[in-house]
Structure 1
């Protein structure tokens, strides 16, 4: 029996995670100066996860006049 096309994972395909680990959240809070050394690692405030979208490059037309 074969695997359906929709279930196959493409090579190198990685999806964006919507959840960060505690260490990642603390690092983001430190970057934004929202974390102090006395603060408890429990009950951390929410940290927004930014999803990056790469824009496709526009194809340039080759001019036949230059040749």
Structure 2
């Protein structure tokens, strides 16, 4: 039995993700200067778009 093409390894998946993890959003905000690394909020992080 062969494996379905959608179940192949993640190395073939090279699409850009729209949703960022929280730590990725914090890193982007720190790079932009909108947030300090020590200022870690639990809620109300501003929306960010992934860097291209």
TM-score, structure 1 as length reference: 0.52
Matched, 1:35 2:32: no
* Inter-partner Cα distance in structure 2 for 1:13 and 1:40: 32
Instruction: Kindly state the Cα deviation for residue 38 of structure 1 after the two structures are TM-superposed.
Output: 3.4
Which has the larger share of helix?
Answer: 2
Q: Secondary structure at the match of 1:17?
A: coil
When Rg is computed on C-alpha atoms for both structures, the one with the higher figure is 1
Matched, 1:19 2:19: yes
* Inter-partner Cα distance in structure 2 for 1:12 and 1:22: 25
CA-based RMSD: 2.6
Higher relative contact order (CA closer than 8 Å, sequence separation 6+): 2
Contiguous gaps of at least 5 residues in structure 2: none
Matched, 1:8 2:5: yes
